[in-house]
Structure 1
Amino acid sequence: MSNRPPLTILGSLALATPALAQDVPEPQPDIFLFAYDASASDDALSGGINTTNRPTLYDNQPFFTPGGDSFVYSRSDGAQTDVWEYDIASGTHTQITRTPENEYSPTPSPDNRTISVVFERNRSIWQVDRADPGNPVWLLETAGVDEPVGYFARNHASGDVLFWSRYGFNVALSHAGEQAYHFVSGHAVPASPHLIPGTSEFSFVHRQTNEEVWIKAVDPESRAVRPITPIAGTNANYTWAPDGSILQIEGTQLHRWREGAEGWEVIADLAHHGLASATRIAVSPDGTRVAVVGIAAD
């Protein structure tokens, strides 16, 4: 029997075992700001900058404020997601909410005094007053809608709200101040609805029974639904520009749809601007800037 001390054997094993590789975090999206030329048919983007530059932390869902001089967005510190604001002129970020729960899909009001959000307190839509962000108000309490919300769009002028159900995969119409619920469509794709510029209609994404995926519009007054266009590719995130065109990203290509044109046209390749991929896009109210959610190329 060997008289070698056990600790010596254990020490030898420890020295012989290679160090375990640490987990490498998955890259998270940043928010890139570009100048946008709506008249361009080739490369419509220029002057891109990475406004967040936090490749391992979540920054997403930008929405421009009414004046177009800033955008609000959802930002995570790794454990908590709050609403922040990026000022374009100064390049500074300011935290708006500091609640114990997470907030997503921040949407400023036309007067920029309040911000509507999807709030994890009850997974519904809440309104945050900029002057008192610690006391949010449940937007759909009077409507009596406690269905968990994934995404939404709001018409402040009429009070109408169109939301995508987090678990129902449907879209429904409700109201900010009245008891209201109207089922619009099932088989709705998880994507943010939008208020169509210059109208009272909302748009949403619908997967038809033939498996085609279309952007469609619903009129809150007549409740009629009409098709607009199939999406470009597979990414269902899109946005409306103030001129009535639709912008959508597929891979690194930025597509644009216009009423009367034949299908979608490619107006920029984000790979030429340093992005490896992108998913979301927002347009400023004057149509001169876009915020793109994507991952920078190595």
Structure 2
Amino acid sequence: MKNSPFLLSLLILLSPLLSLSQPDTEVYLMDLRRSSEGLVVEKPVNISSNKGYDNQPSFWSDSESVLYARNVEGQTEIARYYPESGNTLIITNTFGGSEYSPTLMPDGRISSIRLDTTGLQLLYAYTFRGLDEVLVPELKIGYHAWINSNDIVAFVLGDPATLQIINTASMENKIIGQNIGRSLHKIPGSSSFSYLDKSSDEWEIKSMNPISGESTFLVKAIEGSEDYAWTPKEEIIMGSGSKLFAWKKDGEWVEIADLSSHSIKNITRIAVSPDGKKVAVVGD
């Protein structure tokens, strides 16, 4: 049967909304401690406990609160959770747009990617009261990480998507790679950053010096996974299914937790607190 003009028009109108639909996910916070046998993860708590898409956790510099993207009446806003009190503060209330990947900036503001219902996608800076300004006006950034007070490393959408270093003061940008994953991180205790290289069938986590552009292989990613985080002691934590694994230099991936008994599965995004005592994961 041929599609009617009315049906085609309806599909065209609905397609942007369908493309913005997100899975139901939750953010879990748990303790991370060290034992004689290695890292131990325990006491998981669902800190979002909210219907819809709750995702992309990151920690405040004092490790005392967690930022994440929280579903609020069908769009995502920047939320800040305080483990001590169990309170959640909704920082933004954006009309006609959603915030993703909230990240503490070196100057104390919050950087976040905003996707408007018009399709406009830009990196913004937000104050604690939700006031905003565009940080990078010309590039459609998907993911980002701060590597110093002015520079970010970013996954920039395009054909192909590229890895770029962008100076938010001068607006100068430099393409340094492509075929990368979404997980970008400044390496603790270093001026370098890490990224996921997807240029071969076996994905690899690599580090890069932002000044020289020199790239160094660190470890092969766990098959099928692309999200990871660094501990302050320069270990990498990565998830697969309901399990968490840890890696340290010159070692192998070691399982440190199976969260299936807590009904946590399909682990994706991961964040470790700056003091190394907490880990946040996203699961469903």
CA distance in 2 between partners of 1:206 and 1:84 (Å):
30
CA drift at 1:276: 3.0
- Taking a change above 3 Å as real, the CA distance of residues 27 and 107 of structure 1, as seen in their structure-2 partners, is closer
Amino acid at match of 2:62: G
When residues 26 and 239 of structure 1 are mapped into structure 2, their CA distance, relative to the original with a 3 A threshold, is closer
Say which SS state the counterpart of residue 37 (structure 1) adopts. strand
Task: For 2:110, give the aligned amino acid.
Answer: I
The match for 1:19 is none
1:7-46 to 2 correspondences below 5 Å: 28-39=24-35, 41=37, 44-46=40-42
* 2:54 maps to which of 55, 59, 76: 59
Given that 1:40 and 1:267 are in contact with CA atoms closer than 8 Å, whether structure 2 keeps it comes out as: no
Q: Secondary structure at the match of 2:255?
A: strand
Equivalence for 1:161 = 152
Kept in 2, the 8 Å contact 1:66–1:110? The answer is: no
Q: Which residue of 2 aligns with 1:96?
A: 91
The reply on whether 1:281 has 2:281 as its aligned counterpart is no
Partner AA of 1:260 in structure 2? D
Q: Which amino acid is the alignment partner of residue 191 of structure 2? A: S
Instruction: Please give the TM-score of this superposition, normalised by the length of structure 1.
Output: 0.81
The answer to whether the 8 A contact 2:193-2:209 is kept is yes
Deviates more, 1:38-47 or 1:61-70: 38-47
1:272 counterpart SS class: helix
Instruction: Label 1:117 to 1:264 Cα distance change in 2 as closer, same or farther (>3 A).
Output: same
Shift of 1:169: 2.4
Tell me how far apart the structure 2 counterparts of residues 68 and 85 of structure 1 sit (CA, whole Å): 12
Aligned counterpart, 2:134: 138
Q: Given the superposition, is the C-alpha separation of residues 26 and 93 from structure 1 closer, same or farther in structure 2, using an over 3 Å criterion?
A: same
C-alpha distance in 2, partners of 1:221/1:148? 23
Q: Pick the aligned partner of 1:227 from 214, 217, 222.
A: 217
- C-alpha distance in 2 between matches for 1:26 and 1:177: 33
User: Which residue identity is paired with 1:186?
Assistant: Q
2:253 counterpart of 1:264: yes
Contact kept in structure 2, 1:173 and 1:181, CA below 8 Å: yes
Q: Distance between the aligned counterparts of 2:233 and 2:39, measured in 1?
A: 18
Structure 1 unmatched runs, 5+: 1-24
Scaled by the length of structure 2, what TM-score is found?
0.85
Which of residues 68, 72, 75 in structure 1 aligns to 2:67?
72
Superposition RMSD on alpha carbons, in Å?
Answer: 2.0
Compared CA separation, residues 90 and 268, structure 1 to 2 (3 A): same
- Quote the residue 1:106 is aligned against: 102
> In the alignment, is the contact (CA less than 8 A) between 2:242 and 2:259 conserved in 1?
yes
Any idea what SS the aligned residue of 1:279 has? coil
Which residue identity lines up with residue 170 of structure 1 in the other structure?
Answer: T
Deviation for aligned residue 1:179: 3.4
Asked which structure has the greater CA Rg, the reply is: 1
Check whether the contact 1:247–1:255 (CA below 8 A) recurs between aligned residues: yes
Give the letter aligned to residue 207 of structure 2.
A
Deviation at 1:269, TM superposition (A): 0.7
**Contact kept in structure 2, 1:116 and 1:128, CA below 8 Å:** yes
CA contact (8 A) 1:58 1:77 kept: no
What is the CA-CA distance between 1:43 and the residue it aligns to? 7.0
Partner in structure 1 of residue 15 of structure 2: none
SS at the partner of 1:278?
coil
Gap change, CA 1:40 and 1:283, over 3 Å in 2: farther
The match for 1:10 is none
1:11-63 residue CA offsets vs partner (Å, 9 max, x unmatched): xxxxxxxxxxxxxx996111111111144647711111111112x31110111
Matched, 1:242 2:232: yes
Equivalent pair of 2:79/2:90 in contact (CA under 8 Å): yes
Offset of residue 125 of structure 1: 1.5
Q: CA deviation at 1:64?
A: 0.8
CA contact (8 A) 1:196 1:202 kept: yes
